[in-house]
Amino acid sequence: MASALINVPAHAKRGDIIEIKTLMSHIMETGYRHTAAGEVVPRNIITSLTCRYNGAEIFRADLFPAIAANPFITFFTVATESGKFDFEWIGDRGFTETASASITVE
Amino acid sequence: MRSARTIAVAVLLLAADIATSLLSANEIPQGERRSGYSFMSPDTQAMQNDDTANPGMLWVLDGEALWKSKAGATDKACVDCHQDARASMKGVAARYPAFDETLGRPVDLEQRINLCRARHQEATPLRYESRDLLALTAFVAQQSRGMAIEAGTDPRLEPFVARGHELFMQRQGQLNLGCTNCHDDNWDKHLAGSAITQAQPTGYPLYRLEWQSLGSLQRRLRACIGGIRAQTYDYGAPELVELELYLMSRARGMSIETPAVRP
C-alpha cells in the first residue's frame, strides 16, 4: 500500500534553498490509551525520520507519542547537486518505510 | 416587587426572542451557501490545497491500489469492469446517493461499492469506516473533484429527499434540536469556539484533524446526532442515507472537494 507522500522540487538552481515536505501514513498510537476493557493499547509510533541527499544525511527527526497520526514533516535544505533524496522512517513493531525523490540542479 | 416584575418580563421577552429565532427555520439562499472550507483557518485551507500535504491523499492512493486488486469468488478487480477510474468514475460521486433499482431505495457511495462487491465480485462487504472502504470511496469521489453536485434530481428519489428533509428539520434528543437549528439558523455563529458551518457535504470522505483519520458523511452525521444527545442510527441505516441524500441535494451546484480537510 502506498504510504508516503513526498514533495521535492524537480528542478532548482545551485544554491537555492528548497523546501522538502513529507507525509507518512501511520496511526501514531501513543501507548497511553486504554480499551473499554481497561487494557493498555500498546504504543505504536514512528520513532525516527532520516533524509539522505546523495548518501549524506542532511536531516533527522526523532518522533514521540505526542505527535499526531500521519506525521507531516517539512524542512529546508540547499540544492547543491543533482541527485536523489532518500527518506527512511523507522518505528515500533519493526516498522520501516522508505521513499525517494530526484532533483535536477542547474 | 417592581424589580422582580421587570426581571420576569425581561425573562419572558428573552424566551420569546430565543423561541422565534429557533423557530424561523429559513433555508439558506443559494447565493449565501458556503462550503465548510471557507470557515477554516488559512493553515487548514493550505493543507487541503496541497495534495502532498493533504493526509486524505494517503487514502486516495490506497484506493487507487485497491481499484486494481482482485477480490472475491469471481477474482475480479474494479478495474476489470470499470477500466480507468479517471474516466469511468468522473462525476459519479456528484450524483450519489443514487436510486438502486433492485433495492428500490437510494444507496450512498459506500453502499454502492459494497453492492458492487456482492453482485459482481462475490466478495464480502467492507465494514463501514474500515480503511479499505474509506480508501475506495475517497478514490472514486476524488475523480469528481471540482465538479458540481447534482444528486437527488432523479424523480424516483423525491420521497426519500423529502424524508431526509423532514429528519433535518425534526427536533430530537435530550437537547431537543434539529439539524436546521444550527445549520440553517445559526451557521454564522460559533459553538464552543468552533464555527457552526452550513453542513454542506462537499468534501466527503474527508480528513478531520480531530479524528486523525478520514471519515465518511455517516460518521459525521452520527457524531452530530450524538452531540444533540439523540439515539444514533446504525451505519447504513436508511435514515442516514436519506439525510445524506437531502444534504447532497441541498448542496446541488456546489463543487466536490474530496478529499477535504476539516478541523
CA distance B145 to chain A (A): 19
Q: What is the biggest distance separating any 2 CA atoms in chain A, rounded to whole angstroms? A: 60
CA distance B25 to chain A (A): 39
pLDDT at A42 over 60: yes
Query: Is B52 close to A25, i.e. CB distance below 8 A?
Result: no
What percent of chain B lies above the pLDDT cut of 70?
90
pLDDT averaged over chain B?
92
pLDDT at B101 over 50: yes
Residue B125 near chain A (CB below 8 Å): no
Tens-place pLDDT, residues B192-214: 899 999 999 999 999 999 999 99
Give the nearest chain A residue to B132 (CA atoms). A1
pLDDT at B174 over 60: yes
| Number of CB atoms found within 10 A of residue A60's CB | 12
Give the nearest chain A residue to B57 (CA atoms). A5
Contacts of A28 in chain B (CB under 8 A): 212
DSSP for A63-81, written as a single string: --TTSPSS-EEEEEEE--S
CA distance A70 to chain B (A): 7
Peptide bond into B155 cis (omega under 30): no
Q: What is the pLDDT of residue A3?
A: 82
Residue A37 near chain B (CB below 8 Å): no
Indicate which of A23, A27, A44, A85 best probes the interface with B, i.e. most B CBs within 10 Å of its own CB.
Answer: A23
Report the range of poorest mean pLDDT among B17-21, B22-26, B118-122: B17-21
Indicate which of B52, B61, B213 best probes the interface with A, i.e. most A CBs within 10 Å of its own CB.
Answer: B52
* Residue range B213-219: mean pLDDT, rounded: 97
* Residue range B46-50: mean pLDDT, rounded: 96
Cell 533524496, located at residue: A85
Residue closest to B140 by CA, chosen among B200, B189, B67: B67
Read off the pTM.
0.88
Helix and strand tally (H, E) in chain A? 0, 8
Query: Is A6 close to B57, i.e. CB distance below 8 A?
Result: no
Cell 540547499, located at residue: A78
Contacts of B62 in chain A (CB under 8 A): 1-2, 25
Residues of B forming the active site: 224
For residue A68 the three cell numbers come to 499526531
Q: Are strands B190-191 and B194-195 parallel, antiparallel or unpaired?
A: antiparallel
Residue A41 near chain B (CB below 8 Å): no
Indicate which of A18, A67, A70 best probes the interface with B, i.e. most B CBs within 10 Å of its own CB.
Answer: A70
pLDDT at B81 over 60: yes
Q: What is the pLDDT of residue B20?
A: 46
Contacts of A1 in chain B (CB under 8 A): 61-62, 65
* Residue range B65-77: mean pLDDT, rounded: 95
CA distance B54 to chain A (A): 8
Residue B62 near chain A (CB below 8 Å): yes
DSSP state of A84: E
Residue B98's identity, in one-letter code, is A
Residue A10 near chain B (CB below 8 Å): no
Tens-place pLDDT, residues A10-31: 999 999 999 999 999 999 999 9
> Which helix (H) or strand (E) is B113 found in, with range?
helix B109-116
Measured at the CA of A90, the angle between CA B126 and CA B215, to 5 degrees, comes to: 30
* Residue range B54-74: mean pLDDT, rounded: 96
For residue B249 the three cell numbers come to 441535494
